[in-house]
A and B are shown apart, each in its own frame.
Chain A
Amino acid sequence: MGQYYFLRKVEPVKIVHVTDEVLETIWRFEERGRCTVENVKTEHEDASGYVVDDEILSELEKTGLVKISGTEISLTEDGKAHALPIIRRHRIAERLLVDVLGMPFDAIEESACEYEHTLAPGLTEAICTLLGHPRECPHGSSIPEGDCCRRSESSVESFVKPLNALEVGDSVRISFIRKDDPVLIGKLVSFGVSPGKMIKIRQKFPAYVIQIENTQIALEQDIAADIYGVKV
């Protein structure tokens, strides 16, 4: 009984979700290249303080979620299907915490980790829509697309909107910029237009004019439509 109590008190959630956590770790490493067994082990030692040993990993391999070949470990198709919604929930949760609750980037990790296990699918879609179907988490990793993004639903009014859906005179805190072009991002950053900054929309036609501190910047409509922010 004593031991049971110990489990509930200190590590109840983490033990239950160890599969999710491992799959998530492999996903992250695979995003950046490859993942080794060693990566998974050290990652969990450093970050979560509990041990992922060979036993757990081979257990996972038996269930067909991962594949171990030599030192390398990879997700199977099943494993990917399993990990995708977790990653998505985690990163959507991060956006929610930053965009809506205004928490600083570096303080959101722990809360997001909890949301990733608790958000119901319908709720995730609702939040995703509310946030304007973001494609990147606040740290810049990509958020896997959900059904709602493919349908680009807007049944709930989005909380985070592109500049073209906001009005002249609105003050906006930029959440993210949905563009891949590094040159363009570079230019925007040089002008001080980057996530977290406050801007004011001064004009929408013939070109967008936004004010950031004491600078006015004109943008063509295409760029403005890819800058997402929250009206403050």
Chain B
Amino acid sequence: MQRGILKIEWEDIEIIDTPGVCNLFFNEDNERVARNILIDEKPDLVIQVCDAKNLNRSLVLTALLAECNIPLVLAINMVDEAAQKGIKVKRHKLEEMLGTPVVETIASEGVGIPTLISALNKALIPCYPSRLPTTLVAAVDDLMGLIGSEICEDRGKPALAIFSLAGDHATSLWAQQKIGISHNEIALQIIKNTTRTFQRPLGLVVSRANDLWAEALYAESVYLSPVSSTPLLNRLGDQALTPIAGSIILVCLIAMLYFIVGKFAAGIVVDFMLNDFFGDMVAPHLKNAVEIIPYAFVRELIVGEYGLYTMAVVPVLGLLLPILTVFFFTFGFIEDSGYIPRLSILLDRIFRKIGLNGKAVLPMVLGFSCVTMATISTRVLENKRERFIAIFLLSLGIPCSAKLSIILAILAQISFSGFLVVFGVVFSLTVATGIILNKLMRVETSNFIMEVPPIRIPSLKNVLSKTSYRSLLFLQEAVPLFIISALGLFFADKIGLLTIIENLLAPVISGFLGLPPQFAESLIMGFIRGEAGVAVLKKMVDSGVMNHAQLVIAMVVTILFIPCVTNFMLIIKEQGSQKALAIIVSVTACAIMTGGILNYFFQWANIIF
């Protein structure tokens, strides 16, 4: 849900963007949020944004809003896509029949928005006659009569009366409580009697009536002309859903991501930034400039091994920002193309094996962008068990883009087999964990129904603005944490704490994992901010203290290790401290165990990459 202020000549208008809904009777997340806004926020009017290609379906919601006596403006969006499908809306006819303003828009290009704004003050309640059965209308009226005027404004009454009658159990109870009739015998009797008369959920009766209303309106308000050829894009979209072509497309996309982000951004661009820009151009000047400062302590704080420049400025600006910008751009492109829902559909069956369904594809894919954001997005999953599994797997096996980008940069220096081993191990472990969790937690996986959006060519402008927004957000969040962790590490190093920790962890890190003791720094930093840990790792690699086999182990441990403290806090918030602790402990144990096993295996098999 997003809010914003629209400033027009004569006043400021607050706009609330509700989640997309087609109905309001069911207690699904989106419906609930939309319903609460409709009732609690007492909006002056509703701008109903319809998909011109599916006007019929949108009008069903218009019917419901009309029954709820809510003034509205109808924005018929995506008229360009509809035109491609041979659908042309008779705007004037629709306006005349509905009695409310109807505006055609192409929101992604800003077409029709000024007209929409100027139509706002003409919003009215649709006047097309309702098709609700008379018994139902009478029951709604009766219920409205029972609501005291002090409880609820007149505006909300019809809506709440309808929800009390026709909502599913939870919705109905919510509405009854809102209007104070949940213990009113007469009201409950009315609801009971009406339900009996129709012998089936009243939500369905209302939906059916609204369907008829919408169909009648729709039949009069569009021209349909046949379109003979299926555009290439649609065919591509269909192919992306089939097992064979879909897998090929998926592999191509991953390869593309690897080349653009892994080879181009993490290789060429980062190389330029780190060596040519920061290494050759900035560093010498900075060193000279710092010489003026008389205190060695301050000099070290700035440019020393653990100084701010080395630990915060260079990794953020030289390493992360270029990679992430490229990643966000590519990812935004894929996101806007309508491909991700297709991936959900393609992978639904496979995801069921790990106790999730196709809907979990979105959080998992988002995880490669930012695990914290992905953890929030697990709310799209319907039951608690799915959310737990998804959050668990996200913290275990999905490296966020920042982490991933540096890992790719490091892997670019060693062989392709190293790449395969790192991601092969992480992937199989994640899948195995999913299968085990699925077996342990025997609850039914929720239903999978999903709309397939059309394949679109993303608008460059939108992708660019999304990219810059995300990159800036990254800078805002990462810079302070990088500085804090650099300072922390700097002082820990100065007072010798770092050595103590390294010594404490040495048996595990040097003994069991076979890595240099400095790896502890990477883990500590990594907990503060995932990519900061990997940045330390990168520094260790560049200084040449690790061989390739050690690198592979370090990388596997780093990916498997818990993401970062922000994510940790969020897991506590989403799952409660007990479950969060269980996740953290198992993930850490899993990371260390896997690293140890790999270490012994590599030594035994004498693998050096």
Give the interface of A toward B (CB within 8 A).
Answer: 31-33, 139-141, 181-192, 194, 202-203, 205-207, 209, 213-220, 222-223
Whether A218 lies near B196 (C-beta < 8 A) is no
Known contacts: A213-B56, A217-B450. The answer to whether A206 contacts B345 by CB under 8 A is: yes
In the complex, which of the residues B27, B54, B201, B243 contacts A214, with contact meaning CB atoms closer than 8 Å? B54
Does B98 belong to the interface (CB within 8 Å)? no
Minimal Cβ-Cβ distance residue in A for B347: A206
Whether A191 lies near B449 (C-beta < 8 A) is yes
Residues of A near B526 (CB, < 8 A) are none
Residues of B near A203 (CB, < 8 A) are 238, 241-242
Would you give the shortest CB distance from A36 to chain B, in whole angstroms? 13
Known contacts: A189-B23, A205-B243. The answer to whether A33 contacts B448 by CB under 8 A is: no
Whether B57 lies near A187 (C-beta < 8 A) is no
Whether A218 lies near B345 (C-beta < 8 A) is yes
Give the interface of B toward A (CB within 8 A).
Answer: 21-23, 25-28, 53-54, 56-57, 60, 82, 85, 87, 168-169, 196, 199-201, 203-204, 207-208, 211, 238, 241-243, 341, 344-349, 357-358, 447-452
Whether B242 lies near A190 (C-beta < 8 A) is no
Given A182-B169, A183-B28, A223-B447, 13 more contacts at CB 8 Å? A182-B26, A186-B25, A187-B28, A189-B203, A189-B204, A192-B60, A206-B346, A214-B85, A215-B57, A216-B452, A217-B452, A218-B345, A218-B452
Whether A207 lies near B349 (C-beta < 8 A) is yes
Residues of A near B57 (CB, < 8 A) are 191-192, 213, 215
Whether B23 lies near A186 (C-beta < 8 A) is yes
Whether B199 lies near A31 (C-beta < 8 A) is yes
Residues of B near A183 (CB, < 8 A) are 26-28, 168, 447
Residues of A near B85 (CB, < 8 A) are 214
Residues of A near B199 (CB, < 8 A) are 31-32, 139-141
Whether B241 lies near A209 (C-beta < 8 A) is yes
Would you give the shortest CB distance from B139 to chain A, in whole angstroms? 16
Whether B211 lies near A194 (C-beta < 8 A) is yes
Minimal Cβ-Cβ distance residue in A for B246: A206
Residues of B near A207 (CB, < 8 A) are 241, 345-346, 348-349, 358, 448
In the complex, which of the residues B27, B243, B452 contacts A209, with contact meaning CB atoms closer than 8 Å? B452
Minimal Cβ-Cβ distance residue in B for A183: B26
Would you give the shortest CB distance from A202 to chain B, in whole angstroms? 7
In the complex, which of the residues B27, B208, B211, B450 contacts A218, with contact meaning CB atoms closer than 8 Å? B450
Residues of B near A194 (CB, < 8 A) are 204, 207-208, 211
Whether A220 lies near B348 (C-beta < 8 A) is yes
Known contacts: A141-B199, A194-B211. The answer to whether A186 contacts B451 by CB under 8 A is: no
